[in-house]
Amino acid sequence: MKYEIRPLTNEHAAEASAVVQESFLGLAAPDWHPDARRVFLEATAPELLQQRLTKMPFAAGAFSEAGIAGVILMPERNLLGLLFVRPRCLRLGIGRALWQSARAHIEARFPEVNTVELNATPYAVPFYKSVGFVPISSVFERDGQRAVRMACWLPARVLGASLL
């Protein structure tokens, strides 16, 4: 599958929401309490996503001929909020490409950021480890959501700073 990583705009909110919700329901939701699932789906509805897209330091999608195959949203420059790939598009390098794009953006635009953190569903932990994140907590549950806190250090700056 050919795809191109491009910024998400307000016009993409409905399709980006569909990608997030399809992937969440198909892969992560079974680990969550039903109330937590409902809250997540409400928070990622097109209307709310549209309100937040332009305020994020980084929001991108993997666009293919068939539409958006994956999305990444960073509500803060050191926080990866959402990274979802349509289930039928998994294992094609889309998640990795989205993270690499976000990381390059953060490194170029926000050089003071040394660490990016996220809360990963237990299902997603192996993926995040494969792209350089490490667990900094065990599995925890908060408000019915199961997650593992993870962090990725941006080595070019961390190593450079330690040599000074």
**Is 80 exceeded by the pLDDT of residue 133?**
yes
Query: What is each CA distance from 60 to 20, 34, 71, 144, in whole angstroms?
Result: 13, 29, 6, 28
Per-chain mean pLDDT for the chain = 93
Q: CA-CA distance, 125 to 58, in Å (whole number)?
A: 22
Q: Which residues contact 78 (CB under 8 A, 6 or more apart)?
A: 106, 110, 113, 115, 116, 117
pLDDT of residue 160: 47
Tokens of 7: 């910024």
pLDDT given at position 31: 83
Q: Is the pLDDT of residue 136 over 50?
A: yes
Give per-residue pLDDT as tens, 93-132: 999 999 999 999 999 999 999 999 999 999 999 999 999 9
Integer-rounded Cα Rg, in Å, for the chain is: 16
Look at residue 164 and tell me whether its pLDDT is greater than 50. Answer: no
**Above 90 in pLDDT, residue 10?**
yes
Q: For every residue of 67-96, which 3-state class applies, written as one string? A: EEEEEEEECECCECCEEEECHHHCCCCHHH
Lowest mean pLDDT, pick from 6-10, 77-81, 154-158 = 154-158
CATH level 3 topology of 4-163? Aminopeptidase (3.40.630)
Q: In this predicted structure, what is the pLDDT of residue 162?
A: 46
**Which residue bears the tokens 């070019």?**
156
Q: Strand pairing partners for 63?
A: 4, 68
What is the per-residue pLDDT for 127? 97
